[in-house]
Structure 1
């Protein structure tokens, strides 16, 4: 693996949309006892279900610690590749590389951002995070992909969504948060994004899902179906704090044009009813200084928008809520050529997120 001493835009590389062709998908196995209840045992079953669902459509690689290797190998189908790697937790979309492609040369490279556990010592979710900060480089090494490196710029993969045609959607709540790049102006941040993702226009939403501990990652509130078309997490309940957030996002998106001058088509993807941590769920998590606690009664940032778009399918989190069926129905209408598969994801949500993977992209030539 070479570190490329330039930027993707200069070399003709761009970040593709998640709906474009993938070579494969990466995940990380959960086990951290101060984030996952009972040492991650319930969550491991769900991660396995997600991996099996995605593997129906594309190759899956699961990162696993030495201590969990045998257990994971027994729980995962033989067609899922397992690699042993040290990590601090299991959020590969955020700490892994962003893959960029050159459609003229059929080349794929990685971008290695700085990672500080969603806010560092200001409001990060755990400490230390040094193992996670090495994940992007290690994945690029394993895949023999050359890499761009910008270690002083903090960015998570879940905080960016592109259409593959020059438009990026982000949230101010996340990218302008004090714990990430406080020394940079909004203009500085936007310029970095344009250079390293090769986009022409950045659409800034104000906030993400209510009480999202990632400071409002865009991937939990908005997702690209295809260029010019997005889904937006939504509620009709005006008494829910989420309503004002979603309405604000809707107003921004429907009044914007993308890099190609198109008005965006916005589909409302209704969130489930508020999901609260139970007493049993709370006491199953170890209490450790420096890690965000899981308290009984805390509201979780549940959303269907954080689905995964695989080559021939869509894998969506479900929550045993009446809106589950509506979410699956809408996504099947929006992705008629893909199979929509739902996975009950409460255990993943308890750990602070939804379905979490990164795609290794495959360029079309």
Structure 2
């Protein structure tokens, strides 16, 4: 496989020794897609969310490169002005003229695979349909993985099915966690059975085990992405969102997830260690419950960037996450205006691992 040019391959990545590493694996960079339309935030809301978005970029850039898909030259110049005004180190920023429809790079961005044996990488070009066709157009977002493959000079493989980065969570040791509510939804891959989807996950993510929970949280328009509910912090430990208020709409869903997690066994037979992560108080805007969750954090080379919600549970949540990531700085950034777009820091980003 060439490291200097990019082409489509028909190889099955797992058979060649490629796999998707855990998020704590060292990064070359983190990828974002710069907000430029009213797809997720109205103009007024977009102005409100930009300070937190810039803080997010600044926090990532403290320990790694930030590569940003920027729709066109006008967007690139606008982004530069905002970043420079905030004092961001522009040596750590790469703005690329990659046209996009929306900003959720976790889901439309590339899945980078690594092969430690031959020191090579490749990209999986999953299909993207804006969470079941909810938010057209999404044609430009669907092209982003191939754009980045060409930019990086990496070969890519196209499985031909819909898959979103926020729907899968990896321990780096052969296991992926996901939800039936999302991956088995008829608006994604209605032609596939659960067993067939599991085979795609094994073949193209290089895992040997798929563990399923049932649901997601209230207000999540992705139909139940795992990155709002359960996150691996090491090979056998998960942070699991937990709701203590029995009257909260999320209570039964999160209780069910906890029961499912307790029944799971990893490839080595071990039970998961489950660390409870409180849910914030409900974040409601215009009568709509938003998908606010502390679990939607991003792990970078030196930090964990966590959404906060102007809530008394913010600091306890940061403390719990900090205990799970010794050696990394935990950075809380107010995500109240960002989550109005129905996602947060993990949804906005996709890490690029080193080999």
Q: TM-score surpassing 0.5?
A: yes
- SS of corresponding position for 2:95: strand
Give ranges in structure 1 of 5+ residues lacking alignment. 278-295
- 2:158 maps to 149
Distance 1:320 1:62 in 2: 28
1:332 shift after superposition? 1.1
8 Å contact from structure 1 (residues 158, 219) kept in 2: yes
Correspondences of 1:94-243 after superposition (within 5 Å) = 94-120=107-133, 124=134, 126-150=135-159, 152-243=160-251
Q: Is 1:246 the counterpart of 2:251 in the alignment? A: no
- SS of corresponding position for 2:54: helix
8 Å contact from structure 1 (residues 30, 43) kept in 2: no
8 Å contact from structure 2 (residues 219, 288) kept in 1: no
Following TM superposition, where does structure 1 have runs of at least 4 consecutive aligned residues deviating by more than 4 angstroms?
Answer: none
- 1:22 maps to 27
Give ranges in structure 2 of 5+ residues lacking alignment. 1-5
- SS of corresponding position for 1:314: strand
Say which is worse superposed, 192-201 or 29-38, in terms of deviation: 29-38
1:34 shift after superposition? 4.3
1:106 shift after superposition? 1.3
Distance 2:197 2:238 in 1: 23
Candidates 262, 280, 284, aligned match of 2:270: 262
8 Å contact from structure 2 (residues 171, 235) kept in 1: yes
Per-residue Cα deviation, 1:276-308 (whole angstroms, up to 9, x for no partner)? 01xxxxxxxxxxxxxxxxxx1100010010100
Say which is worse superposed, 69-78 or 6-15, in terms of deviation: 69-78
1:105 shift after superposition? 1.2
Distance 1:137 1:46 in 2: 29
- SS of corresponding position for 2:275: strand
Say which is worse superposed, 74-83 or 96-105, in terms of deviation: 74-83
- SS of corresponding position for 1:241: coil
- SS of corresponding position for 2:130: coil
Distance 1:84 1:98 in 2: 20
- SS of corresponding position for 1:113: coil
- 1:7 maps to 12
Distance 2:218 2:335 in 1: 18
8 Å contact from structure 2 (residues 39, 102) kept in 1: no
Q: Report the TM-score, using the length of structure 1 for normalisation.
A: 0.91
- SS of corresponding position for 1:341: strand
Candidates 304, 308, 311, aligned match of 2:294: 304
Distance 2:39 2:142 in 1: 19
Q: Report the TM-score, using the length of structure 2 for normalisation.
A: 0.94
- 2:71 maps to 65
- 2:343 maps to 353
- SS of corresponding position for 2:138: coil
- SS of corresponding position for 1:233: strand
